[in-house]
Structure 1
């Protein structure tokens, strides 16, 4: 950053605004519902970026009566959107590994000197796991605290162990932009094609991802007691496609979170779903899960696939 100028952060597309619209609306509902309680409300952004993003936009043309041209516009990212929520959160944690992007976040913090903002360097998984180990988030000992975590990774960066740690708090709602396309690409159709990627898949999905495979012309591996994975992997095939993998991962989330929403498909092209946006709620009380389900339905109602394609211009 030079002379106080924000660092450009170009990424995403119109679909980025769709996911941010859904999460932002949920945040508004969340703080309104809890504003008259004794809870200290936290917003935690695990991949905060710079707080803003740059995007190309076409202006002009026949209907505007001037030549068509492409301009760069600056849009609020997840961090700035969260800071603008009314009623506000009480505490903000922005986790960012990149030093350059943290410098931009420092400028955001300076613009919001009236708010409690912590900028945390380093790996998001390590930072989140360290955060939830603090007494305030420990199940059974936590004080009057609640929060929302936004997991918006650039790729396969969220560990399954991190999701387990967040679920164990019973105090956090988690929005996770699950990289469905990238996961599917790593899950080779033939198990022998996975090779050294096994360790990475274990980290992101847990060892249970092998349930997606079955013996050639036979039952799923998970149905075979005593199956020797390493001896027989040559015979394992994956028939599960995008939607089956998406449904399977939702089931995985449901094994650790009391409530998991239906995924909101995020398309980066008319027929190309790249992500699945999930809401997972760790609080097992029905009052919390019912309220979250209501907010989530409102937040995503206008962003289902047909509406998303119209809204994004795809």
Structure 2
């Protein structure tokens, strides 16, 4: 069981699950083959500190809360994808998730059949690349993807591949306050390893000129850089960069998620399909769900 989870985790999960229900309601009227892809699926369970009791699916624990991957597998038959691709880099998480699914299947619970479920161990970026390649070859396939990393594991190259696919509705957790602001200190002295991570995350070094300011030279003619950009500026920058990739299918504000009263993450939404008949309804649904989530806090 993974030791994480609080109100923001539950809120994020509810938004994604509600979107999946709405997506399937719309898409099942058409002849597409639909996939759900979660490249950071986790162990299936998290210890949230609440007293919620989960029935079935292997584990009974008053402190256990079902993660998003298992919640998706438990959705009623009317809300079912043709394929489920659930991945994680941690061997223990994959083993736990697979055991939970196998136990549910053996117990006759309402879960998709084995031929529809893939539980894989591996790097999330490689999993996404493989799924994008697959979608390119299958004109009638579409997907919803949930990328829920702990930090900055998703590369800009991966987001580019998703955007190019034109077939994926993406929910992306961005560690705006939890990671980005921390590795961009205000004094401007970003260590080489952090610069490399930021280059990979943003797809190049432009983040420094965009978010940092050159100071006036001192008496010795030396100038430095400092970050005047606020957390909101960083959030706006992420959203602007996503619009550069996905075009009009990006939700304009996303959903800020807080931990202990501090803004820590941004839940962003982007529809890779640039046809207004596709991204228009997708954005309206995502906007409605985000507004409901904001009102629930």
- Report the counterpart of residue 127 of structure 1 in structure 2: 127
- Equivalent of residue 180 in structure 1, options 176, 182, 188: 176
Matched ranges for 1:1-314 at <5 A:
8-57=1-50, 72-85=62-75, 86-110=78-102, 111=105, 112=111, 114=113, 116-134=116-134, 137-138=135-136, 141-181=137-177, 182-207=179-204, 208-210=206-208, 211-217=210-216, 235-258=224-247, 259-261=249-251, 262-270=253-261, 272-304=262-294, 307-308=296-297
Rounded Cα–Cα distance in structure 2 between residues aligned with 1:234 and 1:160: 30
| TM-fit CA distance, 1:131 | 2.3
> Across the two proteins, how many residue pairs are aligned to each other?
271
- Which deviates further from its counterpart, 94-103 or 209-218? 209-218
Describe the superposition over 1:51-104 as per-residue Cα deviations: whole angstroms up to 9, x where unpaired.
222222369xxxxxxxxxxx8422221111222334211100001111111111
Rounded Cα–Cα distance in structure 1 between residues aligned with 2:82 and 2:112: 13
TM-score normalised to structure 2 length: 0.85
SS of 2:151's equivalent in the other structure is: coil
Rounded Cα–Cα distance in structure 2 between residues aligned with 1:178 and 1:257: 16
Which ranges in structure 1 are unaligned for 5 or more consecutive residues?
A: 1-7, 60-70, 219-231, 309-314
In terms of Rg, which structure is larger?
Answer: 1
| TM-fit CA distance, 1:254 | 0.3
Q: Which has the higher strand share?
A: 1
- Report the counterpart of residue 66 of structure 1 in structure 2: none
CA contact (8 A) 2:73 2:112 kept: no
Which ranges in structure 2 are unaligned for 5 or more consecutive residues?
A: 53-60, 106-110
Q: Which runs of 4+ in 1 moved over 4 A?
A: none
Rounded Cα–Cα distance in structure 2 between residues aligned with 1:15 and 1:46: 20
In structure 2, the CA distance between the partners of 1:303 and 1:217, relative to structure 1 (3 Å rule), is: farther
SS of 1:80's equivalent in the other structure is: helix
CA contact (8 A) 1:171 1:282 kept: yes
CA contact (8 A) 2:147 2:173 kept: yes
